Structure 1
Amino acid sequence: MAIRSKNKVSTNFNMSSMTDIVFLLLVFFIIASTLISPNALDVILPKASHSAPHPQTVNVSITEDLRYYVNKDEVAVEELETLLLSHTANEENPGIILRAEKSVPIENVVVIMDIAN
């Protein structure tokens, strides 16, 4: 008859404690890496005395019923060229933003583009 001992040693290895330690190390290194500044030098940059002027843009919109708007003001087609020239006269490189609805014929858009050039 074999005598069984009550103090049996388990040969299985518990992986839950190992995964906890690996997870904690992973979290530690992620947090530590975000705290490290990539630019370790403290450089005081000069301030600009004035900012560069922003060029004024003129918004031209064409609705589907062929109404023309310059900066949200409705304008007749005949007045469009003189109004655009007066808005862009003081600018070195004037900008015109052209917005046309999908149903507007391309000929009407080309007229505005010709005026802009």
Structure 2
Amino acid sequence: MKLKSTRKSISSTMLISMTDVVFLLIIFLLIVSNFSSQCGLTVKLPISSTSSRHTLQNIEINIYKNGKIYYNDTPMSIKELADALSSGFTDENSIVRISAEADIALQRVIDIMDVVKASGYDRIFVATENVAR
């Protein structure tokens, strides 16, 4: 006559707790990780006490003091920018982020905003740095 063993399998309980630990580590790393896309070009932004953070950034335009314009890290003139924006227009919900250096003339930023608006984009914002109150 065979006797039944009352001993549980240790390997199955250890495996279940090990998978729980692995999933918790993955969740922890996803929460702690910083997933932000940064351009390779640095722009010294103007300061604003009412600025807010936007997470959806489809199109980035950087304007520098020396007159250079970068469209998604590609240098171009205003005419080339207008052509690129018009040919790349796919969705009116696309967001255009304009980063202009603090010392640049306001008229230059307005000219770029006019080009963006004429290309069909309605959601435009100017990036600023938030100053602590």
**TM-score, normalised with respect to structure 1:** 0.48
